[in-house]
Amino acid sequence: MKNIKKLPGLLLIIGNLSLFANDINVLHFGAKADSITDNTVSFQKAIDEAAITGGTVFVPAGKYLIKGSLHMEGVSLTGENKSPKSWTPFNGTILLATGGKGKETDQALFEMRNSSAVSGITVYYPDQSIDHIQPYPWTFHIGSYSKDSTVFDCTIENVTLINSYNGIHAGPNENGRHRINSVFGCVLRRGIFVESVGDIGRIENVQFHCHFWGHPVTKGNFGKAFDYMQANLEAFIIGRSDWEFMTNTFVFPARIGYHFIYTENGNWKGACNGQFNGIAADASGCCIKVDAIQHMGLLITNGQFNSHLTGDSTQIIINETNTGSIRFENCGFWGPVKHNADIKGDGYVTFQNCYFSNNYYDPNLFSIVCNGGKIQIIGNTFDAVQSKSSEKKWSYEGERTSPPAIFIEKNTKHAIISGNNGYNGIMIKNHIGDKAIINSNELYNP
């Protein structure tokens, strides 16, 4: 009977032994979690061993100084962290990165090639100063700098970035099927930048927030990190990507939340198409800026976008260089901004079932201004939350002064505006005559 009672515990021990039987522990290669010893060589030896024998490189809890760069191909490296580390930033597996200070173009902390994975770690740059922020290379680089080499199937998961200057870069040459999931932290200049993506990339459950560098033990400061991010950060930069799937992503704050650009690297030139669901940006000068997208363009659903009176102070900016299609469905746009959307270029833009409020004290600024391309504005609500102009401030609960809703300027090629309403109806200004189809909207009655 006694032996039977001991059986469950024995099975648990055996199960754990088998679970970690193929792990390659960095401590066995000379690594020391003392915050002082440079572990670059020890970690690289463990990674190289895993590339030959298989198995996962395991990094136990502790603080490991890494002065150089780690190169991986076909290898998984994992620490002990199972959740983001904001309230207990130095609990779990911590890598202290010091390489490349002042040199953005140096090698990344992790140089990842085909079928590499990193998970369960926190990365902290101890030499970075909140009062004198310096450039650093990327924390993660997925890809190759050789035009003759392609990189596919890399994973970054369950990672906390305390104060990365540049977070994750996929590119510049052909790569694909990146899987970036559950990455949280404070990033300062660039969060995630993808380009030259030849097969669907997936970015899911990512949050960039200044509070990750706000804990006293990190020598950070919430307010100073906020100010720097709002003035400098481009959180998500999307270049040439043949389908990018992005889900449940958020940034607070940023200069630009999501920036869609043209990139050119050898034969890989162009912009992005893809689907973006549940994406959000808060306290941003501009939430979404589109310089270029592919003709089939972007499908943006269930987005939440809030901007402040800083920088562009406009949630959506479609620039003159855009020729692709952008469709917003069931999204919310609010905050103290000049405009919710400023649209130019020669593309197509659709807003359907969305909420707009510009929360600004100037009653002459329209929520949507269109001066290029073709636009459809169907079935939306234009709220009137504004503060009194005499108070020169904004509030989410401000006066309902019924700001003007839609301005169709002369360079717009065609517009359909139908089925919209507002707190006191909606004001529409049309400068393209019968090229605008306007019907079934609630009459403006301030």
Nearest CA among 88, 60, 188, 72 for reference residue 135: 188
- Provide the CATH number for the domain around residue 125: 2.160.20
Better-scored residue on pLDDT, 19 or 412 = 412
Per-residue pLDDT for 385 more than 70? no
Q: Is residue 140 part of a domain?
A: yes
CB 48 within 8 A of CB 74: no
Q: Give the pLDDT confidence of 3-26 residue by residue, as tens digits.
A: 555 555 444 444 444 345 568 999
User: 47 and 192: one domain?
Assistant: yes
% residues pLDDT > 70 (the chain): 90
199 shares its domain with 280:
no
Whether 103 and 217 share a structural domain: yes
Is the pLDDT confidence value at 388 over 50? yes
Among 65, 125, 117, 57, CA closest to 89: 125
Question: Are 410 and 348 members of one domain?
Answer: yes
Which residue from 55, 25, 53, 50 is spatially nearest to 39, judged by alpha carbons?
Answer: 25
Domain contains 160: yes
Q: Beta 56-58 vs 117-124: how paired, if at all?
A: unpaired
* Residue 191 pLDDT: 99
Provide the residue range defining the domain that includes 225: 27-232
- Residue located via tokens 């089925």: 419
Cα 381 to Cα 379: distance, rounded to the nearest angstrom: 7
* Confidence class for position 383, pLDDT limits 50, 70, 90: confident
Residue 241 belongs to some domain of the structure: no
Task: Read off the pLDDT of residues 297-341 as tens digits, 9 standing for 90 and up.
Answer: 999 999 999 988 888 899 999 999 999 999 999 999 988 888 999
In a domain, 98, yes or no: yes
Classify residue 443 by its DSSP letter: P
Give per-residue pLDDT as tens, 420-431.
Answer: 999 889 999 999
Q: What percent of the chain has pLDDT over 90?
A: 81
pLDDT at 384 over 70: no
* Residue 285 sits in the same domain as residue 425: yes
* Structural contact between residues 109 and 139, judged by C-beta atoms closer than 8 angstroms: yes
Mean pLDDT for 269-286 is 97
Using DSSP's 3-state secondary structure scheme, residue 439 falls into: strand
The sign of the torsion formed by the CA atoms of 233, 212, 177, 248 equals negative
pLDDT, one tens digit per residue, over 133-189 is 999 999 999 998 877 789 999 999 999 999 999 999 999 999 999 999 999 999 999
Q: What's the Cα-to-Cα distance from 225 to each of 140, 163, 403, rounded to whole Å?
A: 21, 9, 33
Average pLDDT of span 403-414: 95
Assess whether pLDDT exceeds 70 at residue 397. Answer: no
- pLDDT-based confidence at residue 392 (cuts at 50, 70, 90): low
Is 22 inside a domain boundary?
A: no
Q: Are residues 223 and 280 in the same domain?
A: no
- 3-class DSSP assignment, residue 154: coil
| β pairing state of 332-334 and 355-356 | parallel
Are the beta carbons of 56 and 22 closer than 8 angstroms? Answer: yes
Give pLDDT, residue 398: 56
Considering the domain architecture, whether residues 37 and 143 belong to the same structural domain is answered as yes
Q: Is residue 94 part of a domain?
A: yes
Determine the pLDDT at residue 22: 64
Instruction: Check pLDDT > 60 for residue 445.
Output: yes
Q: Is the pLDDT of residue 276 over 90?
A: yes
CA dist 22 → 19, 28, 48, 50, 55 (Å): 8, 13, 14, 9, 5
User: Is 7 within the bounds of a domain?
Assistant: no
Q: Are residues 85 and 202 in the same domain?
A: yes
pLDDT of residue 308: 84
For residue 40, what pLDDT band results from cuts at 50, 70 and 90?
very high
- Asked if 238 and 244 count as a contact pair (C-beta separation under 8 A), the reply is yes
19 contacts: CB under 8 Å, gap ≥ 6: none
Supply the pLDDT for residue 149: 85
Q: Are residues 352 and 209 in the same domain?
A: no
Question: What's the pLDDT score for residue 33?
Answer: 98
Euclidean distance between CA atoms 16 and 19, whole angstroms: 5
- Residue 420: the pLDDT is 98
Residue 99 confidence class, pLDDT cut points 50, 70, 90 = very high
A 10 A CB-CB count for 103 gives 12
- The last residue of a domain, from among 178, 208, 232: 232
Q: What is the mean pLDDT of the chain?
A: 92
Q: Which residues contact 434 (CB under 8 A, 6 or more apart)?
A: none
Query: Which residue, of 204, 232, 260, is where some domain finishes?
Result: 232
- For residue range 64-81, list pLDDT tens digits in order: 999 999 999 999 999 999
Same domain, residue pair 107 and 207: yes
Domain count for the chain: 2
Statement to judge: residues 217 and 281 lie in one domain: no
| Residue at 239 is within a domain | no
- Out of 184, 204, 232, pick the residue that ends a domain: 232
pLDDT at 21: 52
- Is residue 88 domain-shared with residue 222, that is, in the same domain? yes
